[in-house]
Amino acid sequence: MNKKVTRIGVLTSGGDAPGMNAAIRAVVRTGIYMGLEVYGIVRGYAGMVENDIIKMESRSVANIIQRGGTILKTGRCKEFFEVEGRKKAYANLKKHGINGLVIIGGDGSFRGAQVFSNEFDIPCIGVPGTIDKDIAGTDFTIGFDTAVNTAVEAIDKIRDTMDAHDRLFVIEVMGRDSGYIALHSGIATGAENILIPEKETDIEAILTALMEKERRQKLVNLIVVAEGKFGGANEVAKVIKERLPDQEVRVCVLGHIQRGGAPSCFDRLIASRMGYAAIECLLEKRYNVFVGIVNNRMHYIPLNEAVKKKQRISEEWMKIVKILST
């Protein structure tokens, strides 16, 4: 681990997030500027196991900063979960002389990096790329801002139909284990209720509030549900229809539209900043950390700590939701 890093590999892993290409670009161009050789590992850890590794030059990342998805592709690799798979990956890195890695992904990707770096002499740096914003130790993750803005734009358009027909809409956004997209998009669009995995759902309280609003002839209501909560939007709508048969209830599942599209300016900026910082970490021998941003300053968290913690939603946010939805 004390050897000087001279050749690095960069990969994207797990779910794609808008801004991953901007991070790849920053890693490649910063690495080359600092005198490193840079290799792209295609399809995440699967590319390491299968030796799908390509040399990258500055022109390899031209005209990609505005593109969604990831030019290096991504995926999940069951073989990498096993020791034999990781041995194959290590042997392939050695063939190319790669002695440092930058992993752009979420907590599952960081968990793989932590295990790999503990077993072999390859230092790893994590760059948080996930639309869920569920990694503790950073105020932002690459892709979250774009995903939320996509959800807000869609919900704003749906609200026009809600108002026109006096309907209740239950809208499902991504976030099986994290409610940040639901929370932020719900507050930004004036949702009457926001259901997130981090907080217990009192469906009876929601039904009581809807009955009261029905009595007051407030028939336009918006409920934003994180996909992993209460069985999702369809299940929530089913309960409401059973208990309030006179309500006009419609469901909209936004789905993977939230993952795609050109990254926002903010996501491009933080991706560029984090990619640059990842190379700095390797050159300064600040190994096996992920780079985050806290209070607008770079923050470095050991990978073994990052995989143990989850980003928490403060009670203040929930209080704001309650007050503004009345």
CATH code: domain of residue 282: 3.40.50.450
Lowest mean per-residue pLDDT among 131-135, 144-148, 278-282, 306-310: 306-310
Find out whether 182 and 195 touch, Cβ atoms under 8 Å.
yes
Based on the fold, state whether residues 128 and 153 are members of the same structural domain.
no
Three-class secondary structure of residue 34 per DSSP: coil
pLDDT at 86 over 70: yes
Based on the fold, state whether residues 129 and 198 are members of the same structural domain.
no
Q: 219 pLDDT band (50/70/90 cuts)?
A: low
232 or 315: which carries more pLDDT confidence? 232
Based on the fold, state whether residues 19 and 120 are members of the same structural domain.
yes
Question: DSSP of 90-118, one letter per residue?
Answer: HHHHHHTT--EEEEEE-HHHHHHHHHHHH
The one-letter amino acid at 159: R
Does residue 53 lie within any of the structural domains? yes
Choosing from 16, 107, 132, 134, the catalytic residue is 132
The one-letter amino acid at 47: G
pLDDT at 61 over 90: yes
Q: 209 pLDDT band (50/70/90 cuts)?
A: confident
For residue 117, count other CB atoms closer than 10 A to its CB: 20
Pairing of strands 168-173, 100-105: unpaired
pLDDT at 11 over 90: yes
Based on the fold, state whether residues 76 and 208 are members of the same structural domain.
no
Based on the fold, state whether residues 136 and 20 are members of the same structural domain.
yes
Question: DSSP of 152-216, one letter per residue?
Answer: HHHHHHHHHHHHHHT-EEEEEES-SS--HHHHHHHHHTT-SEEE-TTS---HHHHHHHHHHHHHT
Does residue 316 lie within any of the structural domains? no
Based on the fold, state whether residues 108 and 226 are members of the same structural domain.
no
Which CATH number fits the domain that encloses residue 228?
A: 3.40.50.460
User: Which pLDDT score, from 0 to 100, does residue 213 have?
Assistant: 76
Find out whether 31 and 14 touch, Cβ atoms under 8 Å.
no
Alpha-helical (H) ranges within the chain are 20-33, 45-49, 83-95, 107-119, 144-165, 180-188, 203-215, 233-243, 265-283, 303-306, 315-324
Based on the fold, state whether residues 128 and 205 are members of the same structural domain.
no
Based on the fold, state whether residues 100 and 75 are members of the same structural domain.
yes
Give per-residue pLDDT as tens, 104-162: 999 889 999 999 999 998 999 999 999 999 898 899 999 999 999 999 999 999 999 99
Residue 213 bridge partners (DSSP): none
What lies within 8 Å, CB to CB, of 27 at 6+ separation is 8, 10, 38, 102, 104, 127, 275, 278, 279
**Token pair in block for residue 307:** 């995989």
User: Which pLDDT score, from 0 to 100, does residue 89 have?
Assistant: 97
Residue 294 bridge partners (DSSP): 297
Based on the fold, state whether residues 41 and 78 are members of the same structural domain.
yes
Per-residue b or e along 225-244, where b marks 16 or more CB atoms closer than 10 Å to that residue's CB: bbbbbeebbebbbebbeeee
Three-class secondary structure of residue 138 per DSSP: coil
Based on the fold, state whether residues 78 and 116 are members of the same structural domain.
yes
pLDDT at 304 over 90: no
Based on the fold, state whether residues 302 and 252 are members of the same structural domain.
no
Residues of the chain with pLDDT > 90, as a percent, come to 74
Does residue 63 lie within any of the structural domains? yes
Does residue 17 lie within any of the structural domains? yes
Based on the fold, state whether residues 11 and 122 are members of the same structural domain.
yes
How many structural domains is the chain composed of? 2
What does DSSP assign to residue 61? G
In the annotation, is 16 catalytic?
A: no
Does residue 271 lie within any of the structural domains? yes
Q: Quote the domain boundaries for residue 85.
A: 7-143+263-306
Of the CA atoms within 13 Å of residue 312, those in its CB half-sphere come to 5
Does residue 313 lie within any of the structural domains? no
What does pTM read for this prediction? Answer: 0.94
Lowest mean per-residue pLDDT among 32-36, 91-95, 162-166: 162-166
Does residue 222 lie within any of the structural domains? yes
Does residue 322 lie within any of the structural domains? no
151-174: average pLDDT? 93
